[in-house]
Amino acid sequence: MAIRIQLDRILLERRMSLTELADRVGVTLANLSILKTGKARAVRFTTLDALCRELDCQPGDLLAYAPGPQDQGSDEDADGTASGTT
């Protein structure tokens, strides 16, 4: 996926642990870890809102677009259309 989560960088800048952030935001440590490692496939706006509030940042500080090869297993063709459509 071309969207990268830069949570580790923000946490380092804020000198905050993932555990502390999880407590402040009300999200499980496991879910924040999935987000931090880039394995999450979706983020709720309420979670993004809480992260920005607690980290005093903008959504663009947490998210970055890094184009690269298409993920395997994606339902989209190279042109961005869903497979099997006409």
| pTM for the predicted model, two decimal places | 0.75
For the residues 63-68, what does the mean pLDDT come to? Answer: 90
Per-residue pLDDT band for 55 (boundaries 50, 70, 90) equals: very high
Instruction: Taking the CA atoms of 6, 10, 15 and 20 in sequence, report the sign of the dihedral they define.
Output: negative
**Is the confidence at residue 74, as pLDDT, over 70?**
no
Phi, psi for residue 5 in degrees, rounded to 5? -95, 125
List the alpha helices (DSSP H) in the chain.
7-14, 18-25, 29-36, 45-55, 59-62
Domains and CATH numbers, the chain: 3-65 (1.10.260.40)
What does 24-43 look like in DSSP terms, one character per residue?
HHT--HHHHHHHHTT--S--
> What single DSSP character describes residue 79?
T
